[in-house]
Structure 1
Amino acid sequence: MCLGIPAKVVEVTERDALVDYGGVKKKVDAILMQDLDVGDYVIVHAGAIISRISEERYKELVDTLNELAKYSQVARGT
C-alpha cells in the first residue's frame, strides 16, 4: 500500500517545491501543480505533489497519521 503524505509548502521554484512534513523539510517535484504558493497544503506521493488540500483536511490527516504511529509503536512494544 502506498500513502500520499500531507505537507505544507514553504518554498516554490519553477519546477520544485520545498515542503514541510511536521518539521522535516524535503524538496519535491511540483510540476503537476499550477499556481502553487507558499503556505499551500498538499499531498505528496512518490516525491511529487499530486493535489492541494485545505488546512482543515491537512490537520485531520496529520492527526490520523499521528494516531497510526502511536498504535504502530504499541504493536511493536516500543
Structure 2
Amino acid sequence: MCIGIPMQVLDARERRALVSGRGEQREVDTALVGDVAPGEWLLVFLDAARERIDAQRAAEVNAALDLLAGVLGGPSLFADDPGFALPSAMSVHEVAALAGAGPKPD
C-alpha cells in the first residue's frame, strides 16, 4: 500500500524539490506536477510529487494520518467505543449479512 504524505516545498529546481513534512525532509521528483515554488504543498508518494494540494487539504490528510498512526502505534484512540463491531465480535449470521450472504428478502 502506498500512502501520500503532504509535504511543503522548501527549495525547488528543475524537476526536483526539497520538501518537509511529518517531521522529515527529503528531495522529491516533481516531473509529474511541473515547476513548484517554496511554500507550495505537494502530495508525495515514494519520493515523487503526484499532486499539488492547498494548505487545508494538507491539514486534512495530516489529521487522517495522525489518526492512523495513533491506532497502529499503540492503544487505540477508540479503545472504549470504536463505533463499530469487528467481525471477531459478530455472530456468524451478522458476518454473513455483512458479506452479502445473508438471507434474501421476500
Using the size of structure 2 for normalisation, the TM-score is 0.65
Q: Which has the higher strand share?
A: 1
- Tell me the CA shift for residue 43 of structure 1: 0.6
Give a deviation string over 1:1-37, Cα, whole Å, max 9, x none.
Answer: 2111111111101120011023310001112222311
The 1-side partners of 2:26 and 2:2 are apart by 18
Contact 2:14-2:35 at 8 Å conserved across structures: no
Percent of residue pairs bearing the same amino acid type: 35
Q: Which has the higher contact order (CA 8 A, sep 6+)?
A: 1
Unaligned runs of 5+ residues in structure 1 are none
Query: Aligned pairs, how many?
Result: 76
- Aligned counterparts, 1:1-78, within 5 A: 1-74=1-74
Deviating beyond 6 angstroms after TM superposition, the runs of 4 or more aligned structure 1 residues are none
Other structure's SS at 2:74 match: helix
Other structure's SS at 2:66 match: helix
* AA partner of residue 31 (structure 1): A
The 1-side partners of 2:54 and 2:60 are apart by 10
- Tell me the CA shift for residue 71 of structure 1: 0.7
Radius of gyration: which is bigger? 2
Other structure's SS at 1:25 match: strand
Contact 2:8-2:42 at 8 Å conserved across structures: yes
